[in-house]
A = this chain, B = another copy of it.
Amino acid sequence: MGTVTELDRFDVLSAREVDDAVNCQWRIARRPQGNVRPEDFSWHVTDVPEPGPGEVLLKTLYLGLAPVMRFYMQGTARTGDDILQPGDLIHGRGVAQIVKSRHPQWREGEVVQGQMGWQTWKVSRMTPQEKFFRMPNNGLPAALGAGVLGMTGLSAHAGLFACGQPRAGDRMVLSGAAGGVGSMVSQLAANVAGCDVVGLAGGPDKCRFVLQHGCSAAIDYKAEAVAARLDELRPDGIDLYFDNVGGEILSACLERLRMHARIVLCGSISEYTRDEPFGLANYTRLRATDSSMRGFFVYNHLDRWEQVMEDLAGWIRGGKLKPVQDIANGFAEMPRALANLYYGQNVGVQCCSVRGEPGEWL
């Protein structure tokens, strides 16, 4: 982790102006080393592309941001089939409107979400690899497609329900509880599954936030002794640990498992800026309690997309899930919005309103 003032260095990038008459892009200038820095991003301006037969022209409305994007920039994670190289457009999903269509199955005016890349316009053949979905006009803001009703929402739903198998009354612990996936998991676990959730977050503001979003207790991992607080708050141990951070907190939870406990490995943000990966020395603790540790990757759960989105929209309308998105204002803010994730600055799902418009349904 760097100091938060390093984020001020992104001011120079934020000064870029988006002109709707051209296509603005953020590309990889160099591979990030440790945290992302302004020098890792380059700004490109091209013509707005013209769709050919079988193609559509998409106007980017909102883009989502996720910790995995640093791996895309570093070339250590695949995006579909590709490893990104310096000079490449940065991968990212978002919400867009089809403004021209020469594709038989997609109509002008439709609002979709899918792989847009960090750019303000895109011509697409709408291939399966881009994973475009129509956004249902369910009365909810279209911006939610860049997070709560997008891949972040699918992560929270699949991770908690399909992988975590929560049971009413489960003594649960959740790390990264104020983050994108975390702020959804805490609410779904408490309000839908009936778990009792202890949330870990960094700083008093985030701890207050998690108490308002499903957690019955909060641990400030920056200020408190995590192990001692877990002993206090989970004296009978842990049935379900939803892990967004990895490292020492995962290790502390492994020491406190109840019989048939489940650990869900969703993210490992503590790993992302470490020089050496964390060596999990107490993995054998899974044995005494017949516990399991299950990983998942959101793209493996796309086959349940429609049902998951229906579930989530229903819970939002029913008041069980308050959508929380931290919306950066304008496409120029994308690099800083990404950096925010690693500096722990965001609350809820980090996304960006590309044209700085409010997040209402279109």
Contacts and interface: CB of A to CB of B under 8 A. Distances in A.
Contacts of A300: 259, 289-290
A154 to B, nearest CB: 13
Contacts of A295: 284-292
A261 to B, nearest CB: 10
Given A281-B277, A281-B279, A293 B290 contact: no
A248 to B, nearest CB: 12
A313 to B, nearest CB: 25
A124 to B, nearest CB: 26
A281 B284 contact: no
Interface in A282-327: 282-297, 300-301
A43 interface: no
Contacts of A288: 295, 297
A291 B294 contact: yes
A160 interface: no
Contacts of A296: 287, 290
Number of this chain's copies in the assembly equals 2
B283 A281 contact: no
A283 B297 contact: no
A166 interface: no
A271 interface: yes
A283 B280 contact: yes
A283 B283 contact: yes
Given A279-B278, A292-B292, A284 B271 contact: yes
A268 interface: yes
A293 B283 contact: yes
A268 B287 CA distance: 10
A77 B163 CA distance: 31
A284 B134 CA distance: 32
Interface in A198-252: 246
A35 to B, nearest CB: 19
A69 B237 CA distance: 27
Contacts of A276: 281
A294 B284 contact: no
Contacts of A290: 163, 294-297, 300-301
A25 to B, nearest CB: 28
Contacts of A294: 286, 290-293
Given A265-B287, A279-B280, 19 more contacts: A246-B283, A265-B283, A265-B284, A265-B286, A277-B281, A278-B281, A280-B281, A283-B293, A285-B295, A286-B294, A286-B295, A287-B295, A287-B297, A289-B300, A290-B300, A291-B294, A292-B292, A293-B293, A293-B294
Interface of A: 163, 246, 259, 265-266, 268, 271, 276-297, 300-301
Please provide the 9 A-B residue pairs with the shortest distance between their CB atoms, ordered closest to farther: A279-B279, A286-B295, A287-B295, A292-B294, A277-B281, A280-B280, A290-B300, A293-B293, A279-B281
